[in-house]
Amino acid sequence: MSYVVGLTGGIASGKTTVANLFNQHFGIDVIDADIIARQVVEKGSKGLESISSRFGPNILLSDGTLNRAKLRDIVFTCEENKTWLNGLLHPMIREKMKVDIAKASSQYVLLVVPLLVENNLQNLTDRVLVVDVDEQTQLQRTMERDKVNLGQAQSIIAAQASRAEKLAIADDVIKNNAKNKELLPQITELHKKYLELSMRNRSE
């Protein structure tokens, strides 16, 4: 079983940027919760079948894929539907993560989970790495990348676990306030540490 480093952080903190650097420089396999969340409801999946039998065929677009905007509206306006959907998808996502972890071939894997803290997925990981940014930088990067205004960016951030809550479960922290070039030295140090930890883990 691979050694699993959970990588988390708030919106636009730099998780994807960091994960790509681990992959490009050190060949580390990356498992992305956002991609898995889409796979479990792709066309032909059991997840999509369950959703369309509960909400009717109108929840599908004409090409048979999920109408995400419609589903978002449905769960946004009804707590019971939201609970039902989470009850369906969360176990599927967790199972798929386990399968992908088992398939990984690098010495350790990065499991990128934006809502690791909120969804309590730490128990799938051996260690948690938090990408941390100050709120000003986070707001700016969110507004620029997602073309949202200050109020929208603030409310997205407010709906997530706080910076302090994330840092409280961190074993390691990457600071991503400054420029990209300051990331690689931090990543290189962590990579060395994770190689050692994963080797120790194997021999135990």
**Residues near ligand ATP, by CB under 6 A:** 9, 11-17, 114, 141, 145, 176, 179-180, 183
Does 17 appear as a known binding residue?
Answer: yes
14 annotated among ligand-binding-site residues: yes
- Residue 21 or 104 having the CB closest to ligand ATP: 21
Residues 6+ apart with CB under 8 A from 13: 131, 132, 133, 138, 176
Query: At closest approach, how far in Å is the CB of 27 from ligand ATP?
Result: 19
Smallest distance, ligand ATP to C-beta of residue 152, A: 13
The C-alpha atoms of residue 176 and residue 131 are separated, in whole angstroms, by 7
Which residue lies nearer to ligand ATP by CB, 11 or 101? 11
Shortest CB 18 distance to ligand ATP, Å: 7
> Quick one: 6 or 9, whose CB is closer to ligand ATP?
9
Residues pairing with 30 in the sheet: 110
Joined tokens for residue 77? 């306006």
Report the residue number, 143 or 195, with the smaller CB distance to ligand ATP: 143
Nearest C-alpha neighbor of 169 from the set 116, 119, 124, 94? 116
Q: How far is the CB of 164 from ligand ATP (least distance, A)?
A: 18
Sheet holding 127-132, edge to edge: 29-32, 108-112, 3-8, 127-132, 172-175
The two three-digit tokens of residue 157, written as one number = 């951030």
Q: Amino acid letter at 44?
A: G
For the CB of residue 11, give the shortest distance to ligand ATP in the complex, in Å. 4
Q: 12 among the known binding-site residues? A: yes
**Between residues 32 and 100, which has the closer beta carbon with respect to ligand ATP?**
32
Rounded Cα–Cα distance for residues 109 and 6 (Å)? 8
> Distance (Å, rounded) from C-alpha 121 to C-alpha 84?
19
Residue list, annotated binding site: 12-17
- Residues placed in the known binding site for ATP: 12-17
